């Protein structure tokens, strides 16, 4: 099973940023409202992710790092309606197979904290007592220490950090109700408090992306037939310089989708006669039955049940909002 884990790890664990993504998603699934990330050498040397979520009981620490162990779905019906970010039960096993992983946790219901250590092939699954407040800390050291070929594929510290930065931005933009902290080599990169209202959300966006976006953006808020669209679309003056700043969330998950980008681009071009890709941070909320988000574990894909309707909705409301500010 260890070998299988290493092979599967290639799919989920491509680089430090993929570890951050999986582990933070686990924290969010566990209901955390505060997530602290400490990394060294762009995560290759160390990644420590601490949350205040519901924790893992002592008897299930082992299970959490074994393959195909998930607490999030119990049967096939659940698979149809899965709301959690993870559900395959392979992330921690995959990470453990290519690093030294220390998992420490304390559920509220348990008096003491416990930890389990796994080192690549050698799974020393001895449970040790530990000190930890309610919640979970996952510490990943020496990523790919036992898979030199994969380690060689890692890029410079700067590049790997940029990947983490991007993953962090997506996660932090996806949940304004959670506070996020990122430190790199002891230096605070982001310290984001919970953003309760639009002003605080805009402050978070300014910290993560750019102050200029908000001064050059149209605020969108549409609520129509059970679908809601909220967010910011950058005007051409801003978009020209920041073409890649495109964040679209469907029910809290970042998504890259042709239907979406086409609708946005078309509305933009129609109203502002501007052929370039606009910048945006947009949130679409709809009945989960209307969208299938489990197309692929790592790609950010969705499948809308009614693509044309979603396209029409986006086009219509963006068109309206942009037209109201047309110069």
Residue 92 or residue 286: which is nearer to Mg ion going by CB? 92
Alpha carbon dihedral 264, 265, 266, 267, in 10-degree steps, equals: 50
Cβ contact 99:144 at 8 Å: yes
Q: Does 26 bind Mg ion (CB under 5 A)?
A: yes
The burial class, CB within 10 Å (0-12 / 13-18 / 19+), for 288 is middle
Residue 55 or residue 231: which is nearer to ligand ADP going by CB? 55
Residue 30 or residue 218: which is nearer to ligand ADP going by CB? 30
Stretch that binds ligand ADP, among 87-95, 121-129, 170-178, 236-244 (CB under 6 A): 87-95
* Among residues 36, 38, 90, 139, the one that binds ligand ADP under rule CB under 6 A: 90
Q: Tell which positions 134-163 bind ligand ADP, by CB under 6 A.
A: 136
Cα–Cα dist 231/45, whole Å: 37
Q: Does 294 bind ligand ADP (CB under 6 A)?
A: no
Residue 25 or residue 301: which is nearer to Mg ion going by CB? 25
* Among residues 91, 117, 173, 245, the one that binds Mg ion under rule CB under 5 A: 91
Task: Output the smallest distance, CB 212 to Mg ion, in A.
Answer: 35
Other C-beta atoms lying within 10 Å of the C-beta of residue 132 = 16
Cβ contact 143:44 at 8 Å: yes
Query: Of 68, 109, 85, which Cα lies nearest the Cα of 27?
Result: 85
Stretch that binds Mg ion, among 89-97, 134-142, 285-293, 297-305 (CB under 5 A): 89-97
* Among residues 39, 44, 56, 195, the one that binds ligand ADP under rule CB under 6 A: 56
Cα–Cα dist 318/229, whole Å: 9
Distances (CA, A) of 303 to 65, 79, 189, 290, 307: 30, 15, 34, 9, 8
Q: Tell which positions 5-44 bind ligand ADP, by CB under 6 A.
A: 22, 26-27, 30
Cα–Cα dist 219/215, whole Å: 10
Q: Does 71 bind ligand ADP (CB under 6 A)?
A: yes
Q: Which residues lie near ligand ADP (CB under 6 A)? A: 22, 26-27, 30, 51, 53-56, 64, 69-72, 86-93, 136
């Amino acid at each position: 099973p260890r070998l299988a884990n290493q092979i599967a790890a290639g799919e989920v664990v491509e680089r430090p940023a993929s570890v951050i993504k999986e582990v933070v998603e686990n924290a969010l699934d566990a209901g955390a409202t505060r997530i602290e990330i400490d990394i060294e050498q762009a995560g290759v040397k160390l990644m420590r992710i601490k949350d205040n979520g519901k924790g893992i009981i002592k008897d299930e620490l082992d299970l959490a790092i074994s393959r195909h162990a998930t607490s999030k779905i119990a049967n096939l019906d659940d698979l149809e309606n899965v709301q959690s970010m993870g559900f395959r039960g392979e992330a921690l096993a995959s990470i453990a197979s290519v690093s030294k992983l220390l998992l420490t946790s304390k559920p509220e219901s348990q008096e003491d904290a416990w930890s389990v250590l796994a080192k690549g092939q050698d799974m020393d699954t001895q449970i040790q007592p530990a000190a930890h407040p309610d919640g979970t800390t996952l510490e990943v050291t020496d990523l790919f220490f036992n898979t030199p070929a994969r380690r060689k594929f890692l890029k410079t510290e700067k590049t790997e950090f940029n990947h983490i930065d991007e993953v962090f931005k997506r996660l932090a933009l996806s949940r304004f109700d959670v506070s996020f902290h990122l430190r790199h080599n002891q230096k605070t990169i982001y310290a984001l408090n919970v953003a309760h209202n639009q002003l605080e959300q805009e402050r978070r966006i300014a910290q993560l992306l750019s102050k200029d976006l908000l001064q050059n953006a149209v605020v969108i808020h549409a609520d129509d037939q059970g679908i809601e669209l909220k967010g910011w679309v950058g005007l051409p003056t801003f978009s020209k310089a920041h073409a890649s700043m495109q964040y679209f969330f469907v029910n809290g998950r970042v998504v890259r989708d042709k239907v979406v980008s086409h609708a946005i681009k078309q509305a933009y071009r129609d109203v502002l006669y501007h052929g370039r890709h606009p910048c945006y941070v947009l949130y679409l909320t709809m009945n989960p039955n209307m969208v299938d988000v489990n197309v692929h574990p790592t790609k950010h894909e969705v499948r809308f049940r009614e693509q044309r309707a979603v396209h029409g909705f986006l086009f219509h409301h963006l068109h309206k909002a942009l037209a109201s500010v047309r110069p």
